[in-house]
Chains A and B, each alone.
Chain A
Amino acid sequence: MPGIDECLHEAMALPGARGASLVDWTSGLALGTAGDSPVGNHETTAAETAELARAAAEYESFAAATEGEELPKGPPVEDVIVTTRSGYHVIRFVETSFDSSVFLHLWLDRSVGNLALARIRLGDLAERLVLG
């Protein structure tokens, strides 16, 4: 896959997709966005989802499995899923072979979206985004 836009474009092709973005969870910067934001502003959504992702990536309880091993390049967490009354949010951490802290965020309409499918496809997209 050539780049960020193509990756987000593919994510938006999933059933029920309403918005997608690639976000840096240390700074809260949106590196790319597609579709809508639940609050009408992708930058706000990026900053908010980044805080959630950072908490998941940094809390000890979710990292315990790697205790004693060499520091992994990416966070031990694979994804964070939030369900709301009207939608699903899937946050998928992207593992790069240089030091980075990015994730894909996909927002789905709950009545149309398929959470299990979205989770698998997003994981696949995250892998292909960096493998090229």
Chain B
Amino acid sequence: MTVSPMLARLAAEHATGALLRDHGTLYLVDGRVVHAESPASPSLDVLLTAGGRLAQEGWDEAVDQAGARSAVGRFLVDSGRLGGGELEICHLGAVFDAAFFALAPASGPTRFRYGVGHWFGTVRPVSTAAVERETLRRRELLDSVWPYAAVDTAPVVPRPAAPGQTVSLRQRALLAAADGLRTPAGIARLLGRPAFHTLLDVRRLAAAGLVETPFDPLPEAPPALPSWVGEVAADPDIALLRRLRDALEAHL
């Protein structure tokens, strides 16, 4: 099973450019994924500044200084603002996070713009196959925890814990941010956590009964039988119906 046939083709031809989909964009260099963005997942600057790791001015200055030559990541490390390992951990996390949403099943068109790069620059390229495998694994993981996708996009509404029920530190921070209005994506941005991690924690909390699971909208009523169904038997075959009834009764 593949997530995007186009992605496999682009990898095979070692393409460089941007793959634009409904829910996000994947940037490729030489057929490998170097960056990803999605409106559903917090961007790298949010992840780094929300917890106070980097001041917003430090980020802005890096973009000003190195954005034009697509080397913002390199600049953050070389200027001592971030450790090399930190950058890789944070960036890889953000790439797989955004890719999960960008590669979500979508009805819209997928386009590829050759030659388009991202201003952040290359940090640690990953193969398209690894990104696709991880995206599929994440979908299955969410459903294995709590198969109700409605909690992913609805405002998070906490429920009281049962007596003796414990909540982890990370989940406590999540619940504290749930004001009944914020969605998982909103909480992820506020806490500076990857959006998928927040979705997964929300599903775990919902499974534990600590977050409301909204009811899915009722399935639409099946379409009414077309009118010709009643007209076919304008002249019912009484004899056939009697034989049918007798046969059925004989089996009672």
Q: Which chain B residues border A2 with CB–CB below 8 Å? A: 84-85
B66: CB under 8 A from chain A? Answer: no
Contacts A/B (CB < 8 Å), 20 sampled: A2-B84, A26-B201, A27-B96, A27-B200, A29-B93, A29-B134, A31-B89, A71-B172, A72-B169, A96-B53, A96-B90, A97-B53, A97-B86, A98-B47, A99-B192, A102-B89, A129-B85, A129-B89, A130-B86, A132-B77
Cβ of B85 and Cβ of A130 under 8 Å apart?
A: yes
How many angstroms from the CA of A4 to the CA of B88 in the assembled complex?
A: 7
Q: Which chain A residues border B194 with CB–CB below 8 Å? A: 26-27
B52: CB under 8 A from chain A? Answer: yes
A107, chain B: closest CB distance, angstroms: 20
Q: Which chain B residues border A96 with CB–CB below 8 Å? A: 53, 86, 89-90
A78, chain B: closest CB distance, angstroms: 15
Cβ of A4 and Cβ of B85 under 8 Å apart?
A: yes
How many angstroms from the CA of A58 to the CA of B85 in the assembled complex?
A: 25
Cβ of A29 and Cβ of B48 under 8 Å apart?
A: no
A105, chain B: closest CB distance, angstroms: 14
A53, chain B: closest CB distance, angstroms: 12
Closest to A131 in B: B83
B173: CB under 8 A from chain A? Answer: yes
A21: CB under 8 A from chain B? Answer: no
Cβ of A97 and Cβ of B52 under 8 Å apart?
A: yes
What is the total number of residues of chain A having a CB less than 8 Å from a CB of chain B?
38
User: Contact flags (1/0) for A93-112 with B, using CB distance below 8 Å?
Assistant: 01011111110000000000
Q: Which chain A residues border B50 with CB–CB below 8 Å? A: 98-99
Cβ of B89 and Cβ of A1 under 8 Å apart?
A: no
For window 79-132 of A, CB contacts with B under 8 Å fall at 94, 96-102, 128-132
Cβ of B84 and Cβ of A101 under 8 Å apart?
A: no
B75: CB under 8 A from chain A? Answer: no
How many angstroms from the CA of A59 to the CA of B169 in the assembled complex?
A: 9
How many angstroms from the CA of A96 to the CA of B52 in the assembled complex?
A: 11
Which of B50, B77, B89 is the most central at the interface, judged by chain A CB atoms within 10 Å of its CB?
A: B89
Cβ of B173 and Cβ of A71 under 8 Å apart?
A: yes
Q: Which chain A residues border B87 with CB–CB below 8 Å? A: 3
B141: CB under 8 A from chain A? Answer: yes
B182: CB under 8 A from chain A? Answer: no
Closest to B52 in A: A97
Q: Which chain B residues border A132 with CB–CB below 8 Å? A: 77, 80, 82-86
Cβ of A71 and Cβ of B83 under 8 Å apart?
A: no
For window 169-199 of B, CB contacts with A under 8 Å fall at 169-173, 191-194, 196-197
Question: Which residue from A3, A43, A99, A131 sits with its C-beta under 8 Å from B51?
Answer: A99
For window 199-229 of B, CB contacts with A under 8 Å fall at 200-201
